[in-house]
Structure 1
C-alpha cells in the first residue's frame, strides 16, 4: 500500500495566513494586471508563443466537490491546489489538472496519520477542469493576448 499522504501547515504559517485572510479582495483592475503578468510569463514557453489561444488561464472547481472534501475531512483548515499534467508524452493544456488536498494543522496536539493505515486514508482529488477548453470567454479576466510583436 502507498504511504498515506497528508498536507500540513504549521503554527507560524497559520499566524501569517490569519493576518492576510482578513481582506483578500482585490480590485478588478488588480486582477486583470495579475492575469496579464501570468500570460506574459507563460507566453515564453514555445508552445504557447506559437499558439497563445491554448495558454492555460484558469481551473474550474465545482463547489459541490469542495463541499464533499469538507464533509470527508471536517477538521481540515483549508485546501491546497497542486498543478499537474495528466497523461504521458507531449503534454497539452487539456492535460492540466489541479490536484486538491486537505490541509491539516501540524502541531504537537495532532498526530500525523502518515503511516497509520487504521485511520481513514487521505486521498488526492482531481476534480478540476482547465481553461481552455472550458472557459468563459466573455469574462473580464479572459484578457485578449497575442505573442506577436
Structure 2
C-alpha cells in the first residue's frame, strides 16, 4: 500500500497539490477497500473512523480532485449514487461491470470486450475513441440459484 500512496503523492505533486493528512486518509480508505465501489458517504464514514476531525466536504473535494487528476474513476450504476474506484495502472481502458438488479452486487469483467467494436467505430466514423464504459444490468448467478423471479423483478418485458 505504501508504494501506491507514494505514487499518488507523486501524481498530486506533479499537479502542484500536496498529499495532506486528510487526502492521505481518504486515499488509504480507497486503497483498503479497492475491491469495493464506495460512494462518497461510504468513504466519509470509513475515513471518519480513522480521522474523526475530517468533514464530509473535505472527502468530497478530495474525491473530486482525485477524479479530475484521473487517479480514480467516478462510476454511475444508474441508481443515482456516484461511486469511486481506482484507475487501473497502465490500463488503456476502463473495465466493465455486471450489476445485479436484485441484490445490488457489482462484479467486474477485467477484459476489454469492445476492442473490435472500437476499431470499427474509429474507422467507419473517423472518430478517435479515448475511453468507453460498459455496464450490464441483470441477475447475478447467486440470485438466479436462489430462484429470484426475473419477470417479477423487471416486469413482463423479460421472456
TM-score bracket, normalised by the shorter chain, equals under 0.3
Relative contact order higher in (CA < 8 Å, ≥ 6 apart)? 1
TM-score between the two structures when normalised by the length of structure 2 = 0.25
Higher share in helix: 2
TM-score between the two structures when normalised by the length of structure 1 = 0.26
